[in-house]
């Protein structure tokens, strides 16, 4: 789960990570008030779940509370387009108003899971303020890593090594060590899956601060972090995906015309791939889970049918413990409840597949029954073209 920068900074502050003074504003009046309290010289930052905000005009400096008010007026409600939002952009609903910082040096610090080692890794770099993926690709030697031993956690000597690797001196080292140790505690205690400070800045008055902050949470651990769960901003997510999550369906909206309803995530991805191979474009990823009952199938259909480009639907179910005839009955029941205007191709394989095919053929509804995986994809793509 993603959160906004201002929320990440609230969490970090709670754990003793140094962040610039500031707070969130949802209205122009709030923005002016906060800017006033901070002495007028502030930065106004649009809060959306995407990076590259500066490039899209989502980060602006103000030298007075009045100026901040003017910027806030323009920014609130605007569609912010950045390299990460796509061409449609994202509506700005709130702003972070923070003190301006006199920067001496821009650095990078981040913690993330290393999947090869099955351990967390703490990374720092002197190359702050640019995308870390770019640094990793072009100058990997400029990223210094310390792996975190799960038995003892991140140790002070590791923080020292990282601070020295950042070429810091004197009091900056001490401030940086304190910063890194606090950042680790925040990551660990909140079950984060990412904590990224880019840039981490050294100020002219010797402070070490998180100028920007990004935190993601492990969805599987949200049950024990109600405070983090409450930070989810549904308006940042695709509405059809929010709707699907209410029914515990794994749905991701894509841009194609062939919808798919599949049981199992791997098979669902493979189904998207085979649609593409057959010359079509998948309209979505949808895993209805192992059960694939009448209810999950009809909920899935309702979400799918809202897609404006949808021209055909491919139902691909591999019945294992769940028998195909029961799935077929579910599909028939679902389609008597939901009005479907596009052709439906059904491919059921596995336990009781024969009975299932018979059931579909005998139903008053119209299905295109496919014989195998490839046939199903080709029929679904052909149906989309004909529609």
Partner 1 sequence: MSILVDENTKLAVQGITGGEGSFHTRHMIEYGTKVVAGVVPGKKGQEFEGVPIYNTVAEAVEHEGANASVVFVPAPFAADAVMEAAQAGVEVVVCITEGIPTKNMINAYEYLRHRKTRLIGPNCPGIISPGKTKVGIMPAAIHQKGSVGVISRSGTLTYEAVDQLTRLGLGQTTCIGIGGDPIVGSQFVDLLPLFEDDPETEAVVLIGEIGGSAEEQAAELVKDGKVKKPVVAFVAGKTAPPGRRMGHAGAIIAGGKGTATEKIAALKDAGVQVCDSPAVIGQTVAQALGK
| Residue 24: φ, ψ to 5° | -90, 145
Binds partner 1 (CB under 8 A): choice among 220, 226, 341, 362: 220
Are 376 and 331 in contact, with CB atoms under 8 Å apart?
no
Chain positions 84 to 113 lying near partner 1, rule: CB under 8 A, are: 113
Shortest distance (Å) from residue 132 CB to partner 1: 8
| Residue 223 sits in the site that holds partner 1 (CB under 8 A) | yes
- Encoded tokens for 123: 């990374």
Tokens of 191: 């079950």
Instruction: Considering the complex, state which of residue 15 and residue 373 has its C-beta at the smaller distance from partner 1.
Output: 373
Q: Tell me if residue 106 is catalytic.
A: no
The single residue among 22, 58, 282, 330 that binds partner 1, judged by CB under 8 A, is 282
Sign of CA dihedral 145, 151, 157, 159: positive
Q: Using the rule CB under 8 A, is 291 a contact of partner 1? A: no
CB of 268 to partner 1, least distance (A): 6
Minimum gap (Å) between residue 87 Cβ and partner 1: 15
Q: Residues 280, 283, 286, CA angle at the centre, nearest 5°?
A: 120
The reply on whether position 145 binds partner 1 by CB under 8 A is: no
Q: Where are the beta strands (DSSP E) in the chain?
A: 22-25, 42-46, 59-62, 79-80, 90-91, 95-99, 103-114, 119-125, 143-148, 192-203, 208-210, 214-217, 250-253, 258-262, 284-287, 312-319, 344-350, 368-369
| Lookup: tokens for 231 | 């930070």
How many residues touch partner 1 (CB under 8 A)?
54
Binding-residue pattern over the window 171 to 190 for partner 1, x denoting contact by CB under 8 A: -----------------x--
| Phi-psi sector, 63: left (phi>0), alpha (psi -120 to 50), beta | alpha
Which member of 196, 257, 349, 378 is catalytic? 196
Residue 179: CB atoms within 10 Å? 24
Buried b (16+ CB within 10 A) or exposed e, 87-106: eeebebebbbbbebbeeebb
CB of 96 to partner 1, least distance (A): 23
Smallest separation, CB 167 to partner 1 (Å): 25
**Which residue reads 């798919």 in tokens?**
260
The pattern of x and - marking residues 345 through 364 that bind partner 1 according to CB under 8 A reads: ----xxx-------------
81, 17, 49: which is closest to 216 by C-alpha? 49
Nearest to 122 by CA among 133, 131, 113, 110: 110
In whole angstroms, give the CA distance from residue 271 to residue 286. Answer: 10
Beta bridge partners, 22, equal 98
Residues 240-269 that bind partner 1 (CB under 8 A): 250, 252, 254, 262-269
Q: By CB under 8 A, is residue 373 in contact with partner 1?
A: yes
169 DSSP 8-state letter = -
Q: Which is nearer to partner 1, 272 or 344 (CB)?
A: 272
Instruction: Report residue 235 as tokens.
Output: 């308006």
- Residue 49 CB, nearest approach to partner 1 (Å): 11
Q: Which is nearer to partner 1, 377 or 381 (CB)?
A: 377
Among residues 78, 276, 355, 358, the one that binds partner 1 under rule CB under 8 A: 276
In angstroms, give the least distance from the CB of 255 to partner 1: 9
Scanning 56-64, 206-214, 284-292, 327-335 for contacts with partner 1 by CB under 8 A, the matching segment is: 284-292
Q: Pick the catalytic residue: 108, 184, 187, 251?
A: 108
158 belongs to the binding site for partner 1 (CB under 8 A): no
CA of 339: how far to CAs of 214, 343, 368, in Å?
43, 12, 17
Nearer to partner 1 by Cβ, of 136 and 342: the residue is 136
Whichever of 95 and 322 has its CB closer to partner 1, that residue is 322
Name the 3-class secondary structure at 137: helix
108 classed as catalytic: yes
Instruction: Tell me the angle at which helices 294-305 and 324-337 cross, rounded to the nearest 10 degrees.
Output: 50
15 binds partner 1 (CB under 8 A): no
Residues annotated as part of the active site: 108, 196
Contact residues for partner 1, defined by CB under 8 A: 113, 115-116, 118-120, 132-133, 136, 149-151, 188, 191, 193, 218-221, 223-224, 250, 252, 254, 262-270, 272-277, 282, 285, 287, 290, 318-321, 349-351, 372-374, 377
């Amino acid at each position: 789960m993603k959160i906004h920068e201002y929320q990440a900074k609230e969490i970090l502050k709670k754990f003793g990570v140094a962040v610039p003074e500031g707070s969130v504003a949802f209205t122009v009046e709030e923005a002016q008030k906060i800017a006033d309290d901070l002495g007028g010289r502030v930065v106004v930052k649009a809060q959306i779940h995407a990076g590259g905000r500066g490039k899209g005009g989502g980060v602006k400096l103000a030298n007075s509370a009045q100026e901040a008010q003017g910027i806030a007026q323009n920014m609130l409600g605007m569609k912010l387009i950045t390299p990460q939002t796509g061409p449609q952009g994202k509506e700005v609903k709130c702003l972070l108003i923070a003190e301006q910082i006199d920067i001496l040096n821009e650095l990078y610090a981040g913690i993330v899971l290393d999947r090869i080692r099955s351990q967390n890794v703490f990374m720092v770099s002197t190359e702050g303020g640019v995308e870390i993926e770019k640094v990793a690709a072009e100058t990997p030697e400029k990223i210094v890593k310390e792996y975190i031993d799960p038995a003892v956690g991140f140790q002070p000597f590791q923080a020292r090594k990282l601070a020295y690797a950042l070429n810091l001196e004197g009091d900056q080292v001490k401030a940086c060590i304190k910063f890194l140790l606090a950042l680790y505690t925040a990551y660990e205690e909140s079950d984060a899956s990412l904590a990224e400070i880019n840039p981490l800045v050294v100020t002219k008055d010797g402070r070490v601060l998180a100028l920007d902050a990004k935190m993601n949470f492990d969805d599987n651990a949200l049950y024990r972090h109600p405070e983090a769960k409450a930070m989810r901003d549904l308006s940042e997510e695709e509405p059809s995906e929010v709707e699907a999550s209410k029914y515990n369906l794994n749905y991701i909206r894509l841009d194609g015309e062939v919808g798919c309803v599949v049981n199992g995530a791997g098979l669902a991805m493979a189904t998207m791939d085979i649609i593409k191979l057959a010359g079509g474009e998948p309209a979505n990823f949808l895993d209805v889970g192992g059960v694939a009952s009448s209810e999950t199938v009809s909920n899935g259909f309702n979400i799918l049918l809202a897609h404006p480009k949808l021209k055909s639907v491919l139902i691909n179910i591999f019945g294992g413990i769940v028998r195909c005839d029961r799935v077929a009955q579910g599909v028939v029941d679902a389609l008597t409840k939901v009005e479907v205007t596009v052709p439906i191709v059904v491919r059921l394989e596995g336990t009781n597949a024969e009975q299932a095919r018979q059931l579909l053929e005998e139903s008053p509804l119209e299905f295109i029954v496919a014989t195998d995986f490839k046939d199903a994809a080709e029929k679904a793509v052909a149906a989309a073209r004909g529609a």
